[in-house]
Amino acid sequence: MKAFSIEELRRKAKRRLPRAVFDFIDGGAEDERTLRENRAAFERVRLTRRVLAGVAQVSTETTILGKPSRLPIAVAPTGAMGFGWRGGDVAVAKAAAAHGIPFSLSAAATASIERIAEQAQGRHWFQAYFFRDREYSFGLIERARRAGYDTLMVTVDLPVGGKRERDFRNDFGIPFRFTPRNVLDFATRPAWALDMLLRGVPRLENLAGMAARGASTRDLASSVGRDHDSSLDWELIRRVRDAWPGKLLLKGVVHPADAERAVASGCDGVIVSNHGGRQLDGEIASFDALPQVVRAIGGKASVLMDGGVRRGADVLKALARGAEAVMVGRATFYGVCAAGEAGARLALDILAEELARTMQLCGARRVAEIGPELLQG
């Protein structure tokens, strides 16, 4: 398979998947203003370059949360990946390992915590949601600890689910609710539909135990956020800190005061993120929120950024604004949906090559040389 950009992988994924499944991956909340703004924020900022910098060789190697990484990139947690490509979670984890970068597993993944640890090498992070059954969430965290995950991220921007209107229009839920509209949609992609019919619909493996405790999987996931704990507060974060021995991140921070409080609560870092535009429509773009969070933390903890990264130049821009690394979710999701593990690897290949080329064109030989002087706007 050939593709020269993340957008080309997106188009290939769109051609392969039913509309409902693609829209679940691709869409945002309400009018999708935040979704669009995540891209527009990068496009507003221009690069300025230095010349005669001796860039015959550049290095994209860096450290993320104190450990080496071949790229200043980590794979963001993406739920329900197996609906786009069976075994997609493992495929993306393997692609991340091949590139020497961290892979984050969503609590709502279609692969279990243990299966990722057993079938994919590399550095594993676990993303925890807190459900109304808090002890079940703590049980997932303990499973991640036992499986050797070195970093825990708690997603804090989902007290309730965003209004994702594409899913409503497509009658999309997890598990699938078969209606005349979506059955016709699934039939337009017979290879995908036949696989689901013959091999069954993938399960949200980490949440299977919750169904056994009295909640159906439909109740857990068909309306995103329905079973999430909207009473989550800072006291619970302190309890998580006491329970988790590794690195702890809060994902979904855009306000500097929240970033400061995260550090005061014992977090090792924050991820500046608006959930890819899938929650609060009309809020600030992650890239625009990044500088104020960096200033608030003042080097006392790590700052990562998630949202809208589609080019290697976007990675450089985020680093120039003070991010330690970026997270990519849709980029590898598009890749795996287009062509499985090979597609996920290609997505990371594209970003890695573009980052190295942009560094050369800007006159930065190492990640440490990427700073605000390379940006205008």
Establish whether 275 is a catalytic residue. Answer: yes
Token reading at 67: 């450990």
**Mapping DSSP to helix (H, G, I), strand (E, B) and coil, where does residue 67 land?**
strand
Cα dihedral 217, 218, 222, 223 in deg (nearest 10): -90
Rounded alpha-carbon distances, angstroms, from residue 111 to 77, 116, 328, 351, 359: 12, 7, 19, 25, 36
Q: What is the DSSP string of 181-242?
A: HHHHHHHTSHHHHHHHHHH-PPP-GGGHHHHHTT--HHHHHSSTTTTB-TT--HHHHHHHHH
Taking the C-alpha atoms of residue 81 and residue 204, their distance in angstroms, rounded to an integer, is 9
Quickly list H helices, 272-373. Answer: 286-297, 312-320, 330-362
**β-sheet bridge partners, residue 103:** 75, 124
Residue tagged active-site, from 99, 124, 228, 275: 275
- Active-site residue set: 275
